[in-house]
Structure 1
Amino acid sequence: MARKLVKKRGKKVGAAPGTLVHVGDKTDTVAQIRVVDYDQEHLRDQRLKDPNACRAFKSGPRVAWINVEGVHEVHTVEALGQGLGLHPLVMEDILNTDQRPKVESYDDYLYIVIKMLQYDPLQHEIRPEQVSLILARHYVLSCQERAGNVFDGVRERLRTGRRIRFLGTDYLAYALLDAIVDNYFALLEQLGERIEALEEELITRPTPATLAQIHHFKREMLLLRKAVWPLREALAKLTRDETSLIAAETRIYLRDVYDHCVHVLDTLETLRDLLAGMLDLYLSSISNRMNEIMKVLTIMATIFIPLTFIAGVYGMNFEHMPELAWPWAYPAVLLLMLGVAAGLLVFFRLRKWI
């Protein structure tokens, strides 16, 4: 069954703006809150059970990274939003996992939406996940739909005390964005390998299952394009708009992420064109196979038409047919049929029809 590209909003339809309703996949897992607060000398990594405890990081002396895994718990997102002073519309968008990538500016923070994409090699499909980032002066809040390992590299850089520990929240937000966009390249590499294998299968022996795979990957390309195309506009806005939350030095790194996004789009369009060409190639291959079958059947029918005529003539029960009384009439007719068939085959060969 094909996966739906648009999520059902259910109770969200017709609700007042700012109504906190989760839109997305349901899960029974418990939301996890992990906070990493650090400065140049110290780092503390802890898990919090009470979302209200995050109030202390709103204006703390150190940089804080608050990561939430699981936005299906409305009360958790609501408590975090109230503690950090987030607008109700921002909390609403965090819970609505069908948002398009965007950047929105508020008085003392930026709200960024980006899609994290991972490839499932067993189902050969993309698993999208919405990630919401809140970039403030003293903290970065990241909200994920489920647990993952994409941000493990950022945590390792924080633990080893590299450059990221000496810079502010804007650089931390850049590192998170860069980790997500870099993961797109790994996704495209896996998709590219599968599509190339599908192309070889299409050339050698196409089947109806091959056509189903082509349509499947065309839908996956639509999902990928829906996630990456608006991201380019959002990243351009981050590098272009003037805000005190992003330093001039960090904008240079954000431009690098923007370049990576453009590269991803170029690769995506290449794969889409390849799939479109594969669909045409499949239809041409099926048509050519049908033409070859009809060609063989036509040649066989053409050879047997005169043989059927000869057999029909001598199968008539007329009394005065001189050939019927000849001793060698039967082998002579067989030789005549064989000669006619051989002559037709030679004629077809000379005309390069076979």
Structure 2
Amino acid sequence: MLYAYRPTASQLERLPAGDDLAEALWVDLLNPLPEQVAAVERLGVTVPSLADMEEIEVSNRLYRDGETEVLTIVLPGLDKEKRPKLGPVAFLITPERLFTVRYHTPRPFETFAAHAAQTSAGFAGRRRLFLGLTEEIIARLADLLEGVGQSVDAQSHIAFRDPPPRGDDLADVLRALGRQSEQVAKYRHALLTLDRALSNFGLGLKIERDKILRDILKAQVGDIQALTVHGDFLANRVAQLTDVTLGLINLEQSDTSRILSVVAVLFLPPTLVASVYGMNFPFIPGLENPHGYLIATALMIGSALGTYLLSKWQKWL
């Protein structure tokens, strides 16, 4: 799909389908069709493919193509099946306009046009538009990290509640913490790529000597650093809660093993008595005694009871 926006006095206005793209300040490509790629390339830019955007090398993510500055960052979003996905997004900044190329749907791209004028950078020009969009992205990542923090708090309440959780509750906590750990790792990765892209973008601002945009950029870099620290804090909390949950699981398993061990010990003396009287020898003392069965049964019960009382006295139970 292709979305094109032109600036008005108060907002970004989407161009109707079929209008001349030369009027647009921002052209957004989402899973573009070949004819849409061709229409954009007629404006003098080369649209990178998904394979190009997924390259790990910095030279394929942050570079200049003639007068076009290409910055690729990795952002969380949804794929075609509405499943969470971490994918690359390319920003192509030309002297006339901003192009974005993506193959999934990060939420800032759906919300930015409605309140672009409310961002600190605004949308008067392609560089301000880029910084306004990155401001929206940073705010979204902050919201996502806050959501992880709330989820970690909920799991913390479960792990430390009284009485302590057991069985399936602990397994659910462990799975939830695993998901949150993955989310934090993805958001930290997104912040890292965004920080690198803004650092590269700042080199162009130094050449143009635009102090206002440099101040906005500096503030955004500071926000990214603060969110990175917050992400580290959340990662440590998740790791700590995971250790606590595993410890509770080990304690529960230890309690079960201890109970089984005690039961086994209690039945050892009766088993010994039964084994003695169950031996196939012709002559066993008391074998002909009419009360032999009762005596053997009493010995087994008495030995089990004696073992139990000894365990209680020694505080093994």
Question: Is the Cα–Cα contact under 8 Å of residues 63 and 70 in structure 2 kept in the other structure?
Answer: yes
**Any gaps of 5 or more consecutive residues in structure 1?**
1-30, 58-63
Structure 1 contact 74–95 (Cα < 8 Å) conserved: no
1: CA distance, partners of 2:153 / 2:182: 17
Gaps of 5+ in 2: none
Return the match for 1:235 from 198, 204, 207.
198
Q: Which residue of 1 aligns with 2:266?
A: 303
Per-residue deviation at 1:228? 2.4
1:32–1:47 Cα contact (<8 Å) kept: no
Please provide the CA RMSD for this pair: 3.9
Q: 1:81 to 1:246 in 2, by over 3 A?
A: farther
- C-alpha change, 1:333 and 1:106, in structure 2 (3 Å) is same
The CA distance in 2 between the partners of 1:212 and 1:305, in whole Å, is: 40
The whole-number CA distance in structure 1 between the counterparts of 2:39 and 2:11 is 25
Structure 1 residue 175 displacement after superposition: 0.8
8 Å Cα contact 2:191-2:224 kept in structure 1? yes
The answer to whether the Cα contact below 8 Å between 2:30 and 2:104 also exists between their aligned partners in 1 is yes
Deviation, 1:218, is: 4.3
Cα gap change, 1:304/1:223 in structure 2, threshold over 3 Å: closer, same or farther?
Answer: same
> Which residue number in structure 2 is paired with residue 16 of structure 1?
none
Q: What secondary structure is seen at the aligned counterpart in 1 of 2:86?
A: strand
Match of 2:149 among 182, 185, 192: 192
Task: Kindly provide the CA deviation profile for residues 201-254 of structure 1, in whole angstroms up to 9, marking residues without a partner as x.
Answer: 667235566655555554444433433223222223333555445721111111
Q: After the TM superposition, which segments of 4 or more aligned residues of structure 1 sit over 6 Å from their partners?
A: 159-163
Give the number of aligned pairs.
306
Kindly state the Cα deviation for residue 162 of structure 1 after the two structures are TM-superposed. Answer: 9.1
Report the 3-state secondary structure (helix = DSSP H, G, I; strand = E; otherwise coil) of the residue aligned with 1:33. Answer: strand
Task: Give the AA of the match of 2:2.
Answer: Q
**Secondary structure at the residue paired with 1:49?**
coil
Q: 1:103 to 1:251 in 2, by over 3 A?
A: farther
Find 2:97's aligned residue among 133, 139, 154.
Answer: 139
Q: Does 1:204 align with 2:158?
A: no
SS class of match (1:67): strand
Task: Show the counterpart of 1:290.
Answer: 253
Shift of 1:306: 1.0
Question: In 2, are the aligned partners of 1:109 and 1:137 still within 8 Å (CA)?
Answer: yes
With over 3 angstroms needed to count, the CA separation of the structure-2 counterparts of 1:212 and 1:194, relative to structure 1, is same
Distance 1:42 1:185 in 2: 26
Q: How far apart in 1 are the matches of 2:209 and 2:130?
A: 10
CA offsets, 1:122-169, max 9 Å, x none?
99x73334333233444223334356652465434456899836x543
Q: State the TM-score, normalizing by the size of structure 1.
A: 0.69
Contact 1:117 1:183 in 2 (8 A): no
Contact 1:235 1:254 in 2 (8 A): yes
Match of 1:115 in 2: 74
Matched residues in 1 for 2:205 and 2:149: separation? 38
Q: 1:72 aligns with which of 32, 40, 43?
A: 32
Cα distance, 1:156–1:242 mapped onto 2, change above 3 Å: closer
Task: Please list, as runs of the form range in 1=range in 2, the aligned pairs for 1:59-98 lying within 5 A after superposition.
Answer: 64-83=24-43, 85-86=44-45, 88=46, 91-92=47-48, 96-98=52-54
Quick check: 145-154 or 338-347, which moved more? 145-154
Closer/same/farther in 2, CA of residues 174 and 159 from structure 1, 3 Å limit: closer
TM-score by length of 2: 0.75
Distance 2:55 2:147 in 1: 25
- What's the % identity of the aligned pairs? 16
The residue that corresponds to 1:54 in the other structure is 21
Q: Residue 306 and residue 193 in structure 1: after superposition, are their counterparts in 2 closer, same or farther (change >3 A)? A: same
